[in-house]
Structure 1
């Protein structure tokens, strides 16, 4: 079994993104309500964040709540928002202890006022931290993000701030929620599902994808290590040939 000591620290991915899937099914397997799974999923978040910080990972992004998740049963959504508030309060000390800066992407103004206020407060109190940047994707959808970017750029073209001829990847990137984050190197999805689910569609253009048949509450340090070592054993060519890289 691979351990953290087996990871090549010189080849760490700069940015890992995780689709934390399977809380509800994990709870259902145990004859519990879906919220039971979400509660246990919070513990896995804490452990994963600390493991990544200990590895000196620079960026970790977690798909916490999607734009589509608002369509879930009212009780489940309310519980998730309460969990968000309580988790942010509890984890502030741990974030500062581990020199982690909290960031958020998505339409966060759509969050309940209590959750929005708590989020901004923790982001402000960790803004000076210089270690890992932990980004929570909240009320996030990649299509909405891209639509928003197109609208912003179109308005600037209309007002002669940007010319159509100058629109390139950099311009588009600068108008995304993730404008201050590097592209994703490794995308992990738990629960056995093999799809992207409207997550960081622009930013994962050349990411290595890793799907694991484990529900999120059971995702452990061992699984994280496996994913990173799997990533390190891949050849990232970015459109080039192996010969060109060598």
Structure 2
């Protein structure tokens, strides 16, 4: 979800207003996915690199996340949506972390759709940690290196209980992955929108899914 700050700057607004507008696009996107039966939606909400942003902006983002959790927990219960998070969530402020934990616990039994928030997330860190975990087991003699497969490696990732994404949507016209689910999106279809995230609406998500439906996925085969 890219372009909140640039969206605000183009309108002469503070960056936090762009993040607020982006939160409305999140709501629309979740509702659209629910309508068409998408079972998993992962939103790159806050990267591990985002901690390097100005403290005031980081604080505003945490406040916005807390507000989202407060306002949407009841709605997720009504719509049977489960909330999960991936990343180093222990780095979040305690208040934010507690609200996130409570929302996940409250929605744990929901089955209609899973909303995954990538928070303090970086894919290189995730892959490094998975490799370190496997190396420790091999060094301890509890894992035969010859038994290491891509399935075993995937089981050590944060997303071990989730399917790999079929479709990756990137807004603001950026043509890069930005350290997001590098292992998991190996064969994901990619759709790029030039518009900033706050201008991304339900019709855009439907357009992306329609574009995805026209593609022939070969997974490396002919």
Q: 1:40 aligns with which of 7, 21, 25?
A: 21
- Using the size of structure 2 for normalisation, the TM-score is 0.99
Instruction: Say whether 1:31 aligns with 2:17.
Output: no
Distance in 1 (alpha carbons) for counterparts of 2:201 and 2:95: 31
- Give unmatched runs, 5+ long, in structure 2: none
Encode CA deviations 1:49-73: one digit per residue, 9 max, x unaligned: 0110111111000000000000000
Instruction: Say whether 1:195 aligns with 2:186.
Output: no
Distance in 1 (alpha carbons) for counterparts of 2:44 and 2:103: 18
Distance in 1 (alpha carbons) for counterparts of 2:36 and 2:141: 46
Q: What's the CA shift for 1:86?
A: 1.1
1:158 corresponds to which residue?
A: 139
- Using the size of structure 1 for normalisation, the TM-score is 0.89
Moved runs in structure 1, 4+ residues, more than 6 A?
none
Q: Secondary structure at the match of 1:139?
A: strand
Distance in 2 (alpha carbons) for counterparts of 1:27 and 1:92: 27
Encode CA deviations 1:187-231: one digit per residue, 9 max, x unaligned: 000111111000000000000011001110110111101100100
Distance in 2 (alpha carbons) for counterparts of 1:25 and 1:57: 29
Q: 2:109 aligns with which of 110, 124, 128?
A: 128
Using CA pairs under 8 Å that are at least 6 residues apart, name the structure with larger relative contact order, 1 or 2: 1
1:49 corresponds to which residue?
A: 30
Q: Secondary structure at the match of 1:155?
A: helix
- Give unmatched runs, 5+ long, in structure 1: 1-19, 242-246
1:11 corresponds to which residue?
A: none
Q: 1:224 aligns with which of 193, 200, 205?
A: 205
